[in-house]
């Protein structure tokens, strides 16, 4: 079987869509106008991703407020915030360029999603001619909605976590019921959990172990057969062409990450300074049997933060190198991250989100072609 290749999920939203979102928040753009822009952006995303030759596509998350907040709010500006939430929650991340992203704060129970990923997926599948995957958010990210120290009166942390695990399971099951070929869980907070940034209190609390246990509570509800097609995405963040935890050593993260009983992992690697060392760590820590499934390592061969387009030959060479450390039947390729996990993202290093979209499709084309070349060279 050739080496599998798969994107993470998101693409930059076109300038016109970002303008419509701003207008919707300001009350000058109607819901119908916004939906028209989202429909057009989803159709364009799927058509152009299929044109790259990719065996699997997404709608580029063009309807989502962000990879983390899609269940909670219609826009990043806070329009359509779900019940029992206030806007002033914890920082989820502070990025190296100084900007930050904030989560809402839970004010009471019960916790329920207002939008499931499948609500978007159901609209994407009819636009595609081949398999469609869907990314969902990890329970470990949404666990940060609960105040770090305080207890919410009448809704204990344990009650919240039980509701959260139910909602995350439902989010994944609904994707498969809608026809998703694969579902990957975004776990960007995993690496950030090791950062210990005094400006962002939760990062200093050694929460990685709790995160892994919580995510396994969801994964363990799925059979081994189902978990073959459930992945985990790890990265040091990717927003406004900036990262939040690239200085955290993979050696600290990987043993815990591979304790999650997922069937595959989408792993940022193209932007790592010493990739060969990380390939060796992946070979060492990934498991051939994670409670009934082999863990397939999809290594990042494309850097979505960098406007330079990687060549297919560069992609091929990296995969051939990775195959020296990772068994080829457990090797895949991916992008380091989504191309724009947040809906409002001007992609400053690219010049504009529209230019960044064009570049994203060129990069995906190089990944698909380079992966084909590597399969040929490795004889798989």
Binding residues for Zn ion, per CB under 5 A?
Answer: 188, 235, 238, 337
Report the alpha-carbon angle 112-211-143, nearest 5: 30
Which of 67, 64, 82 lies closest to 17, judged by CA? 64
Between 45 and 123, CB nearer to Zn ion:
45
Between 101 and 105, CB nearer to Zn ion:
101
Residue 68 beta carbon to Zn ion: minimum distance, rounded to whole angstroms = 10
Between 139 and 238, CB nearer to Zn ion:
238
Between 69 and 84, CB nearer to Zn ion:
69
Between 45 and 66, CB nearer to Zn ion:
66
Handedness of CA 288, 293, 294, 300 (dihedral sign): negative
Between 9 and 370, CB nearer to Zn ion:
9
Give 242-277 as a DSSP string.
B-S-TTS-HHHHHHHHTTS--SEEEE--TT-S-HHH
Between 236 and 263, CB nearer to Zn ion:
236
Residue 249 beta carbon to Zn ion: minimum distance, rounded to whole angstroms = 18
Which of 38, 28, 96 lies closest to 65, judged by CA? 38
Residue 182 beta carbon to Zn ion: minimum distance, rounded to whole angstroms = 16
Distances from the Cα of 70 to the Cαs of 199, 210, 252, in angstroms?
A: 25, 23, 29
Cβ contacts of 2 within 8 Å, gap of 6 or more: 371, 372, 375, 380
Q: How far is CA 129 from the centre of its chain?
A: 23
Residue 139 beta carbon to Zn ion: minimum distance, rounded to whole angstroms = 17
Residue 337 beta carbon to Zn ion: minimum distance, rounded to whole angstroms = 3
Between 84 and 343, CB nearer to Zn ion:
343
Radius of gyration of the chain (CA): 19
Q: Is 359 exposed, middle or buried (0-12, 13-18, 19+ CB in 10 A)?
A: buried
Residue 157 beta carbon to Zn ion: minimum distance, rounded to whole angstroms = 27
Structural tokens at position 72: 């909670």
Place of tokens 């360029």: 97
- Residues 232, 265: Cα–Cα separation, whole Å: 5
Which of 12, 40, 9, 5 lies closest to 349, judged by CA? 12
Between 106 and 232, CB nearer to Zn ion:
232
Between 73 and 243, CB nearer to Zn ion:
243
Distances from the Cα of 339 to the Cαs of 9, 18, 41, 294, 368, in angstroms?
A: 8, 15, 14, 28, 16
Give 186-227 as a DSSP string.
E-THHHHTTS--TTSGGGGS--HHHHHHHHHHHHTTS-HHHH
Residue 112 beta carbon to Zn ion: minimum distance, rounded to whole angstroms = 26
Task: Identify any residues that bridge with 290 across adjacent strands, giving them in sequence order.
Answer: 293
Residue 288 beta carbon to Zn ion: minimum distance, rounded to whole angstroms = 26
Residue 31 beta carbon to Zn ion: minimum distance, rounded to whole angstroms = 29
Residue 47 beta carbon to Zn ion: minimum distance, rounded to whole angstroms = 24
Q: Do 143 and 104 form a contact (C-beta atoms < 8 A)?
A: no
């Amino acid at each position: 079987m050739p080496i599998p290749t798969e994107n993470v999920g998101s693409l930059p939203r076109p300038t016109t869509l970002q303008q419509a979102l701003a207008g919707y928040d300001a009350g000058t753009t109607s819901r119908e106008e916004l939906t028209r822009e989202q429909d057009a952006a989803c159709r364009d995303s799927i058509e152009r991703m299929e044109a790259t030759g990719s065996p699997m596509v997404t709608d580029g998350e063009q309807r989502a407020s962000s990879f983390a907040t899609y269940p909670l709010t219609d826009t990043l500006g806070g329009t359509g915030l779900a019940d029992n939430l206030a806007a002033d929650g914890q920082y989820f991340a502070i990025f190296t360029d100084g900007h930050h992203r904030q989560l809402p704060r839970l004010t009471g129970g019960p916790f329920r999603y207002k939008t499931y990923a499948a609500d978007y997926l159901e609209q994407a599948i009819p636009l595609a001619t081949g398999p469609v995957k869907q990314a969902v958010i990890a329970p470990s990210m949404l666990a940060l909605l609960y105040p770090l120290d305080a207890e919410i009166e009448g809704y204990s942390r344990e009650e919240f976590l039980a509701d959260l695990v139910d909602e995350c399971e439902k989010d994944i099951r609904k994707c498969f019921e809608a026809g998703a070929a694969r579902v990957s869980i975004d776990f960007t907070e995993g690496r950030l959990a090791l950062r210990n940034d005094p400006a962002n209190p939760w990062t200093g609390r050694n929460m990685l172990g709790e995160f892994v246990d919580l995510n396994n509570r969801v994964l363990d509800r799925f059979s081994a057969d189902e978990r073959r097609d459930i992945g985990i995405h790890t990265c040091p963040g990717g927003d406004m062409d900036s990262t939040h935890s690239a200085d955290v050593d993979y050696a600290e993260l990987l043993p815990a990450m591979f304790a999650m009983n997922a069937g595959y992992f989408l792993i940022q690697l193209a932007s790592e300074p010493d990739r060969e060392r990380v390939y060796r760590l992946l070979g060492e820590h990934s498991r051939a049997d994670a409670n009934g499934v082999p863990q397939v390592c999809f290594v990042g061969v494309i850097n979505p933060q960098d406007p330079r387009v990687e060549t297919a030959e560069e992609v091929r060479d990296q995969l051939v190198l990775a195959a020296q450390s990772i068994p080829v039947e457990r090797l895949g390729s991916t992008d380091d991250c989504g191309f724009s996990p947040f809906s409002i993202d001007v992609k400053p290093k690219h010049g504009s989100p529209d230019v960044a979209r064009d570049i994203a499709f060129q990069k995906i084309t190089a990944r698909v072609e380079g992966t084909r070349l590597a399969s040929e060279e490795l004889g798989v």
